[in-house]
Amino acid sequence: MSGPFTFEPDRIYRMPVLFGPTPGPRQRLDDSRWHGSPSPHQTTVWADFTADRGRLESLLPEGFRLDGTPTVRVRFRYLTRIAWLAGRGYNILDLAVPVVYEGGADPVRGDLVLVLWESLADPIISGREELGYAKLYAEIPPARGAADAGYVAAHASWDGFTFAALSVEGIGDPKPAGSGDAEAPLLHVKYMPSTTGTGVPDAHYVTVTPADYPKRRVLDRRTGTRATVEFTAGDFDRLPTLYHITGQLAGLGLSETTACGVLTTLGGKNLSDQYPAP
């Protein structure tokens, strides 16, 4: 007769834990790592917008300050050929703000991810628990238009109600591609509530995604001349679990485009280099 369930050391578990270690982006079931063809293939439609300083600062937790001009980067990302999903893909919408985190032993400069929506449950579950990403679910269909045609439009919805839309226009010819993809570190506020319901969390700290992507290769890089973004606040009837977020995003005053474009890359990393901010 077999003994009771026990946890294996140095393995990753997620609920439901009683079935053993969990396969995912940072662990195969046999405890090996994902290798083989570069993964994923990713197309990013992005734009930077100036924002109302006061409203943006009201979203920053203690220890954070804005880094330069109050700016929000809006990104729609379309991922395919994902190894840990057996070649499947999913889509992402995220918003990030350039900040400096001074709440730890050493200042950390990077982009604070305010919120991130994904179109599939599996990356949401692994990214929230293991990495501390602020992930939610949304319907994010393929983008309309094409970079070659000079125009791309993207949107996200929940139960059929569109709450975010981004368009990039005047997309030019490709610029030189190559290795790597320079990005700032990404900062996240990891918060896991306690079952006691007392308001004291089981986990609450800042995590960092390093900017190093040694296996990423830029396939196509283009800039646009103009971008527009619209967040629709909705209400309890239309977005019962999101309207407290979309309402604040709609009030950020995102109007002036400072930069925009479309980026296509191949390869990435499994984010096992994620670490708590010192």
Kindly tell me if the per-residue pLDDT of 179 is higher than 70.
no
Identify the weakest region by mean pLDDT among 135-144, 151-160, 207-216: 207-216
Average pLDDT over residues 261-269: 94
Tokens of 101: 């985190």
- pTM of the entire predicted model: 0.93
Residues 6+ positions from 113 with CB-CB distance below 8 Å: 94, 95, 96, 133, 134, 186, 187, 188
Q: What is the mean pLDDT of the chain?
A: 92
Tokens of 236: 């309890």
DSSP-derived 3-state class of residue 126? helix
Average pLDDT over residues 202-218: 92
- At 182, the pLDDT band (50, 70, 90 cuts) reads low
Kindly tell me if the per-residue pLDDT of 247 is higher than 60.
yes
**What's the pLDDT at 126?**
92
Kindly tell me if the per-residue pLDDT of 7 is higher than 80.
yes
- Name residue 9's amino acid: P
